[in-house]
Each structure stands twice: as structure tokens, then as C-alpha cells.
Amino acid sequence: MRMRTVTVTGHGSAPAVPDSAVVRVAAVRRAAGVAEAFAAVSASVERIGEVARRHTEPHRIASQGLNVWTWHDNQGEARGFEARHGLAIGCPDLTAAGSLLTDLAQEIGDALQLDGVTLEVSDPAAAQGRAREAAYADARERAAQLAALSDATLGAVQQVVEGGGARPMETGELARAASTSTARIEPGETRIGAGVTVTFELL
């Protein structure tokens, strides 16, 4: 007789507090010619790198794209060229990220463009474990309900497959700060997600 089974996917999550950050910025410069725009943005990027190395390790500073295009005024007329060079700067903690943002704003000035700050959990293993446990419990509960609806009970586990179910992170807020103070980044709380697909025997 063929074994009857039920396969379900459980989802779970666990809270975690972000403790590191990736700051995404760009240098943007305009000039009459391509070469001038490129040279100006390159100089700004070099300065950004110098500031960033005061707050993080050099290997955590990475270019994210370099573009040069024709710049048009509000009437649609070509006025020159605009160059943009983006960078992602990984910071070991939120205090370093806040200090980095403050120094960049003060030292790079109007050539700086802030693209965003992504907060991360540097060691998510513990939260992932709790999320996995919650996902397995959810899978068992779902399977038990389906078994009852089928006039059966759950038997032994036949297969467990991990994957799916990750939830987007809810990041903290980047607080506004005056130019004379250090930008404060609020970590808030994020949730680490997990998904588990389990096959149970039906008795």
C-alpha cells in the first residue's frame, strides 16, 4: 500500500537589532566637457575615499557605477556634461556610519549625493536559528490541521527542506543632524525570516 503523506511549508521570523551599515553615496559634478566632468568627479571620489578610510577598512569601499551624460537645462538645451560615480561604504558599526556621513557632508559639500543607508545584522546566526525553529513549528501546525481535515494523524517526518520565507528587513531611521553635530542612526529592529518545507507521513 502506498504511503500517504502531506507536504507543507512553514514560515517563521525572529527579531534582531542591526549593528552595522552600508552607506551609499555618489559624487556628482558638472562641466562644459566630458573630460572636465570626469576629472572633477574623480577628484571628489578620491576625497570621499580619503574620508571613508578614516571610518572603515579600505576593502569595504567599493565603486557602484560611473556614468557621464549630457546635462540639459530646464528648457531642454544641452549645457554640458554631468558625471556621477557611486560608492558603497561598509561601516563596522552605526556610530562609524553616522560620523562618516557627517564628515562627508562637511568635507565634500554640494558634490555629494546620499543614495541611502542600509542597516545590517553582522552576525545573524542566532536569529536565523530562532526563525528556523519558528518555521518548523509553523509547518507542523499546518500539517496537523490538514491531517485532521483528512481524518488522519501525523506520522514520522519523511523529508525536511530549508528555503524560502525570508522577510524584508525593517531598517531603522537616519536622523537629521545639524552640520555641527554627528548624524545619528537609529537601529530600530529587523526581523530575520526562514522557511522550511516538511513532508509528514499520514496515519
pTM of the model: 0.74
| pLDDT at residue 183, rounded to an integer | 74
Domains present along the chain, CATH in parentheses: 5-17+123-202 (3.30.110.170), 20-120 (3.30.70.2970)
110-169 per-position pLDDT tens digit: 999 999 999 999 999 999 999 999 999 999 999 999 999 999 999 999 999 997 544 444
**Nearest in space to 84 (alpha carbons), one of 67, 61, 99, 71:** 67
* Calpha distance 195→98 (Å, rounded): 34
Evaluate if residue 175 carries a pLDDT over 70.
no
Evaluate if residue 172 carries a pLDDT over 50.
no
User: Are the C-beta atoms of residues 191 and 145 closer than 8 Å to each other?
Assistant: no
* Calpha distance 64→75 (Å, rounded): 31
User: Are the C-beta atoms of residues 166 and 193 closer than 8 Å to each other?
Assistant: yes
Cα-to-chain-centroid distance, residue 130: 21
